[in-house]
Structure 1
Amino acid sequence: MARHTLSLAFGLLLTLISLNVRADLVVLQYHHISDSTPPSTSTSVSLFEGQLDMIASQKLEVVALQTATEAALRGDLSDRKQVAITFDDAYDSVYEEAAPLLEQRDYPYTIFVNTDAVGSRGYMTWEQLRELNEQERVTIANHSHDHGHLARRPGERQDDWDARVDNSLDRAQVILQEKLGIDVPMFAYPYGEFDKDLETKLSDRGWIGFGQQSGAIGETSGITRLPRFPMANAYGQLGNLKDKLLSRALPVDANELPAGVLADNPPTLEFRLPDALSVNRLSCFASGQGRIEIEEVGDSSVRITAPKAFDSRRFRYNCTHPANDGSYFWLSQQWLDLEQPED
């Protein structure tokens, strides 16, 4: 019995050491880089510069999104601390403000484009996108054609939904190929909204899917529901940026988590922690409600439910667990209430 206990303890120690020496990929998500655009989706120019300075001070490797994501999902990063930079919607402030700053630092980045908006007021033109696309550091990818809400609406017929979503996904991909000569297998969900069927459409196309829930990408992440840290003014302040930049994926199999379309309000989330992590050190928070109680349900599994219902279309449960090197494991579960009005 003593030998078995010692062997078990040694196994847990090796698992803990393995968890603490590896690194995962952190992806940052931006919209506007401007001092005059809507605050909820904007990062001021000075804050953006401060964020880039902190990335440099932490000696993080800024990497191209697709190859780094694929390596993180394979568990190939080892102890390499990497960050990828992404922009949604192709706003003109990215061309005017962000692109020169990133060029000075020789940082790669990705722009997710909703093709119908290109050339409209406040958005880049095709000429500007072609100019950026000619740079090796820049990747242009699909953000749908119309920036619509792509999860299936209540009461929407299956055939109607298929036609609507297939048109938005594939039309954008065709336009990007015609205009820029690219066929990049990455997609960012408009508003960060997805459901199981939408994930299946991406999987059928062989595309990698990115949401807007926070967290790092690791070996247990889901390839069609990958997290990114929103970096708008409200979320990207320098005071807690280091924790996000150095975060790692809480090693919970994403395939065992719900897609997030609301069935009950408030919803319940249940998952199992690896044996090397402690339920007592786990902290969970709900959007707008602060810290929420964690119920241990045996076999290192936990169950969390916010104390009251939500009245927003999108909200999240965020859970963190400290690692021994001062960083945090991070899990963000997005919820989507389809009964709430679309933006």
Structure 2
Amino acid sequence: MPLKVFLKPSVVVALMAAAVSAQADLVVLQYHHVSDSTPPATSTSASLFEGQLEMISDLELEVVGLLEGTRQTLSGSDGKGNRIAISFDDAYDSVYETAAPLLADKAYPYTIFVNTDAVGRNGYMTWDQIKELAERPGVTIANHSADHGHLARKPGEAESDWQARIDNSLDSAQETLARELNSPAPMFAYPYGEFDKALEREVAERGWYGFGQQSGAIGPKTAETRLPRFPMANAYGQLGSLEDKLRSKAFPIDTGELPDGVISENPPTLRFPLVEPIDAGQLTCFASGKGRIDFDVIDGKVKVQAPGTFNSRRFRYNCTHPAGDGSYYWLSQQWLDLGRPED
């Protein structure tokens, strides 16, 4: 008679988590300035940036190109451990002066998302500098819009006006990059990390991957037009919490089924399915500026709603869950209040 082995539910959950966490998810780091003299909210000090690169090296994590890594991860390619991709928004001159030499020393690939109207202005790279970097091995240039505008449809904006504005911002930038660099990558970083379902459709119709500024790792079930990145400015990229981010795993749900980020109520409600190996007893959720928040499980779905209203234009709900081997599944939903002033 065959021997039957019965495992406790908690052990089953742990084993399933370990199996899923074995896949090679992609963690994308997002930077603006790498400087000690630029605005703190969007800057990573040179010493912190060096420390971050050293931690990636010490953990023996592979750094891959963003386009290559995204394609492989979404296709479900097998692998061991996480892979890391590095990206910069806006093409600030500190990336050329400070970050690029440090990355060259490590032979790490990276991507620069360029808002084309700003090139050559004070504090930004010139086209000559961008072209020089683009010719280096492992450096990719991609689209960050022409004007770095708030691209979600504004309250009261006619759909035809919004469509014309989006077409101009996205397509003129891509045309400029094509003219200057020949073949820009099919990737787009949303200015301010702001997007809505309609903007996601525009990005999808162009055959581009869309990257936000909400945190989390990319996995096979991550939606192609709401790909997460971990902001690495001084307040968010400190070394004490960096390892958890570098080793984080994509939450095992289809993120394309998450709600539109534009809020219709304040505080908004996030719902997502309670799928294996997620155990409600080990799930923890947080809200921007409010710390840990409660959630309910109703009909197999997790319902998350902050206890009070938000007074900022952008804010997030983050949920984490142990994924085995000391890592965490990480889900971040960015919310956008169009009634609040633009930056």
Give the TM-score range, shorter chain. over 0.9
1:100-141 per-position Cα deviation (integer Å, ceiling 9, x unaligned): 000001000000000000000000000000100111210000
The count of corresponding residues between Structure 1 and Structure 2 is: 340
2-structure distance, mates of 1:112, 1:183: 10
Where 1:243 maps in the other structure, the secondary structure is helix
**Identical columns (%):** 62
Q: Corresponding residue for 1:240?
A: 241
1:22 Cα deviation from its structure 2 partner:
1.8
Letter in 1 for 2:335: W
Q: Corresponding residue for 1:272?
A: 273
1:78-112 per-position Cα deviation (integer Å, ceiling 9, x unaligned): 32421000000000000000000000010000000
Greater CA drift, 321-330 or 35-44: 321-330
2-structure distance, mates of 1:13, 1:104: 39
2:103 is the alignment partner of 1:102: yes
TM-score (norm 1): 0.95
Contact 1:21 1:79 in 2 (8 A): yes
Letter in 2 for 1:298: D
Contact 2:22 2:80 in 1 (8 A): yes
Instruction: Please show how residues 135-284 of structure 1 align to structure 2 within 5 Å.
Output: 135-284=136-285
1:15 Cα deviation from its structure 2 partner:
4.1
1:19 Cα deviation from its structure 2 partner:
1.2
1:6 Cα deviation from its structure 2 partner:
6.9
Letter in 1 for 2:160: D
2-structure distance, mates of 1:316, 1:23: 25
Letter in 2 for 1:324: G
Question: CA-atom RMSD, angstroms?
Answer: 1.9
1:164-216 per-position Cα deviation (integer Å, ceiling 9, x unaligned): 01000000000001111123100000000000010000110000000000000
Q: Corresponding residue for 2:80?
A: 79
1:294 Cα deviation from its structure 2 partner:
1.4
Where 1:216 maps in the other structure, the secondary structure is coil
Contact 1:85 1:110 in 2 (8 A): yes
Where 2:315 maps in the other structure, the secondary structure is strand
1:14 Cα deviation from its structure 2 partner:
6.7
2-structure distance, mates of 1:176, 1:323: 40
Contact 1:24 1:77 in 2 (8 A): no
2-structure distance, mates of 1:237, 1:276: 29
Q: Corresponding residue for 1:327?
A: 327
Where 1:274 maps in the other structure, the secondary structure is coil
1:13 Cα deviation from its structure 2 partner:
7.5
2-structure distance, mates of 1:321, 1:201: 33
1:33-75 per-position Cα deviation (integer Å, ceiling 9, x unaligned): 0000000000000000000000000000000000100111111
2:11 is the alignment partner of 1:46: no
Contact 2:22 2:81 in 1 (8 A): no
Letter in 2 for 1:302: V
Letter in 1 for 2:117: D
Change (3 A) 1:13 1:86: closer
Task: Give structure 2 stretches of 5+ with no counterpart.
Answer: none
2:337 is the alignment partner of 1:340: no
2-structure distance, mates of 1:230, 1:11: 34
Q: Corresponding residue for 1:57?
A: 58
2:294 is the alignment partner of 1:293: yes
Task: Give structure 1 stretches of 5+ with no counterpart.
Answer: none
Q: Corresponding residue for 1:306?
A: 306
